Amino acid sequence: MKAIEVKKDIYWVGAIDWKLRNFHGYLTQRGSTYNAYLIVDEKITLIDTVKGYLTKELIERIADIIDPKKIDYVVSNHVEMDHSGAMPEVMEMLPNATVITSVAGEKEHRLHFKKDWKFQTVKSGDTLNIGKRNLHFVMTPMVHWPDNMVTYCPEEKILFSNDAFGQHIASSERFDDEYPVETILEEAKKYYANIVLPYSSQVVGVMQIVRSLDLDIICPSHGIVWRKNIPLILESYEKWGSNKTDKKAVIVYDSMWNSTEMIAKMVKEAFEEKKYNY
């Protein structure tokens, strides 16, 4: 398994789930990825892991760049199993590594795994120096779990956004200039509607913070990495988060003997008469 360079000394080392067809109860016909990222600096840092049954893929990609045992920090932006399922096996290889996570993240790790790993909790505004680079942490609770946070590297202008801006797409292409952007946006919209929508009020606040960052790349935890169409996904999240709706009507009907269909057509004609889109 080969790692993919995101920027110099920063690599995608995640796993591709080609067979995934259901995620939290909604159809994922294009599969998905579980994205993890490796930063090679004075302190070698792994950002997030993958689902447990794909741990081998993660470790092989890390080993394509360095000896995995050299990792100093594991940043856990979110404890849900699609991001932390590989933690037990990874941490067994790294007895001296420190897990960087939120206060809620430490609690959830301990509940899930019953392990006494070395934890360092962070809050919004905290910074971790790893050599030439610094990692800044921003808490994003309930986007979409209480423990969620994002990690920003100002020197590289990269946001490791965890679930935010993600999509369920399994692909050997990693970047939004290598894959049809219409499809990426379609899947990002589906992900937002099914996973993030109930927490839109929190999204609005998070977007204000994201807008204040200088961004070249957004690295989500699922799907394609954003580097060309960042304004598009930011504008889309602002629209979805504000609950703005298109001025359209949807006519839904089910008809056994065509009677309900006739009524639906009458409704359609009424919309047409008023020049409403449907």
Q: Considering its fold, how many domains does the chain have in total?
A: 2
Q: Indicate if 47 and 174 belong to the same structural domain.
A: yes
Q: Indicate if 237 and 250 belong to the same structural domain.
A: no
Inter-residue contact 171 to 35 (CB < 8 Å): no
Q: Indicate if 233 and 273 belong to the same structural domain.
A: no
Q: Indicate if 255 and 236 belong to the same structural domain.
A: no
At 188 the pLDDT is 98
Q: Indicate if 98 and 223 belong to the same structural domain.
A: yes
Tokens of 238: 């602002």
Residue type, 164: A
Task: Mark whether 48 is an active-site residue.
Answer: no
Pick the catalytic residue: 34, 37, 191, 192? 191
Pick the catalytic residue: 41, 82, 156, 176? 82
The residue range of the domain holding 257 is 246-278
pTM of the model as a whole: 0.91
- Reading the chain (278 residues) residue by residue, the pLDDT tens digits are 899 999 999 999 999 999 999 998 889 999 999 999 999 999 999 999 999 999 999 999 999 999 999 999 999 999 999 999 999 999 999 989 999 999 999 999 999 999 999 999 999 999 999 999 999 999 999 888 899 999 999 999 999 999 999 999 999 999 999 999 999 999 999 999 999 999 999 999 999 999 999 999 999 999 999 999 999 999 999 999 998 777 788 899 998 899 999 999 999 999 888 887 76
Pick the catalytic residue: 11, 17, 48, 78? 78
Q: Indicate if 137 and 274 belong to the same structural domain.
A: no
Task: Mark whether 235 is an active-site residue.
Answer: no
Q: Which residues contact 161 (CB under 8 A, 6 or more apart)?
A: 150, 210, 218, 219, 220, 221
